[in-house]
Amino acid sequence: MAQHAAPAYRIYQGETVLGVVWSNAAVNMTSSWRVVYDDGDTETLILDRFTTGSARAAQLISTAQVARKDGYVTEGETFADGAQRGQTYVVMYISQGYNPGDVRAPIAKGYVYASVPLALGQQVEPGPTGGPGNLREVTTANPAAGAEIPDQTVPVGALWRLLSVSVQLVQGITQTPLPTLRIRTGSPATIAQVPITPTAISASSTAQLTWAKGLVQTSFTAVVGDEFHTAPLPDLFMQTGEIWNTLTDGIGANTDYASAIYLVEEWVMPN
């Protein structure tokens, strides 16, 4: 009995279904794909249960099963438990073997996350055009007095949208610093640089500094020891190797940043 399915999902005797996955978290994955042969027989190719790494590196999801005859892949899904959208990107292929050069036809691609599988025929591009990424809250190292917040670098296999950065700054006597948040390439070349205030921060003060999307530049300095300053962040995407850090005019030995907390929206990208 001939099947009337998309030619792109045609599978030939000896071929198999396999996947390539990139993830920034260790998640468990399962995958199964139904094949209807030209003579009407059916079979399910079950891929081995798989736990991803968290380094955003390409990994293979495979099975020892192959198609026994010519037919069509008519349905199938890949599941992941525990992931958030944007963390785990998968491309499923019909393939003639288990090497990268053996893949013949992509049959599904997209982000897999808890309760939302990847199904036959889905074609979601990686990155923001396909939908939201996953939110990551990160705490930086605590720099020594007189030092800047260290470089925060976009990892290989990631795309970032920086949403907010917040840090306490204790300024002793002598200096009157003007902190800026800087985004730059790995070259390095500055992409954006945003001062926290129009004027320098006073000596002998403790202030909370917050850069975030949607904020406006505001300062409250009426209560010494309980100051705050806010500033907006530009809406831009940061690619692998790009960084953000602080660059503080007038920094000195009495300028002491705490650990910063920043929020990014991240998409895992094939690499």
Report pLDDT digits (tens) over 220-243: 998 877 899 999 999 999 999 999
Q: Are residues 241 and 202 in the same domain?
A: yes
pLDDT, tens only, 38-67 = 999 999 999 999 999 999 999 999 999 999
d(CA 164, CA 221): 21
Final residue of a domain: which of 67, 96, 124? 124
Give the range of the structural domain holding residue 106, as residue numbers without chain letter: 7-124
Residue 6 scores a pLDDT above 90: no
Coil, helix or strand at residue 234: coil
Q: Give how far Cα 61 sits from Cα of 19, 113, 197, Å.
A: 5, 16, 51
Q: Are residues 97 and 184 in the same domain?
A: no
Q: Are residues 211 and 263 in the same domain?
A: yes
State the first-to-last Cα distance of the chain, in angstroms, to the nearest integer: 41
Q: Are residues 191 and 118 in the same domain?
A: no
Residue 78 scores a pLDDT above 70: yes
Q: Is residue 76 part of a domain?
A: yes
Q: Are 50 and 11 in contact (CB under 8 A)?
A: no
Q: Are residues 52 and 153 in the same domain?
A: no
**Which pLDDT belongs to residue 5?**
58
Q: Are residues 114 and 155 in the same domain?
A: no
Q: Is residue 2 part of a domain?
A: no
Q: Are residues 41 and 150 in the same domain?
A: no
**Which pLDDT belongs to residue 61?**
94
**What is the band of 130 on the pLDDT scale with cuts at 50, 70, 90?**
confident
Q: Is residue 209 part of a domain?
A: yes
Mean pLDDT across the chain: 95
pLDDT, tens only, 139-160 = 999 999 999 999 999 999 999 9
Provide mean pLDDT across the span 28-42.
96
Provide mean pLDDT across the span 238-255.
98
Let me know how long the chain is: 271
**Which pLDDT belongs to residue 224?**
75
Total domains in the chain come to 2
d(CA 150, CA 154): 13
pLDDT, tens only, 93-114 = 999 999 888 999 999 999 999 9
Residue 29 scores a pLDDT above 90: yes
Q: Is the pTM of this model over 0.85?
A: yes
Residue 123 scores a pLDDT above 80: yes
Q: Are residues 149 and 113 in the same domain?
A: no
d(CA 43, CA 36): 7
Q: Are residues 158 and 60 in the same domain?
A: no
Q: Are 210 and 166 in contact (CB under 8 A)?
A: yes
Residue 1 scores a pLDDT above 50: no
Q: What angle do CA 109, 114, 118 make, to 5 degrees?
A: 20
Residue 211 scores a pLDDT above 70: yes
CB contact set of 234 (below 8 Å; sequence gap of 6+): 183, 192, 194
d(CA 137, CA 63): 36
**Which pLDDT belongs to residue 38?**
96
Q: Is residue 234 part of a domain?
A: yes
**What percent of the chain is predicted at pLDDT more than 90?**
92
**What is the band of 82 on the pLDDT scale with cuts at 50, 70, 90?**
confident
d(CA 27, CA 80): 6
Q: Are residues 152 and 264 in the same domain?
A: yes
Q: Are residues 52 and 118 in the same domain?
A: yes
Q: Which of 67-71, 81-85, 164-168 has the lowest mean pLDDT?
A: 81-85
Q: Which region, left, alpha or beta, applies to residue 264 given φ > 0 means left and ψ of -120 to 50 means alpha?
A: beta
Coil, helix or strand at residue 101: helix
Residue 3 scores a pLDDT above 60: no
- CATH number for 171: 2.60.120
**What is the band of 77 on the pLDDT scale with cuts at 50, 70, 90?**
very high
Q: Give how far Cα 222 sits from Cα of 9, 167, 219, Å.
A: 68, 19, 9
Final residue of a domain: which of 96, 124, 152? 124
**Token pair belonging to 85:** 């959208």
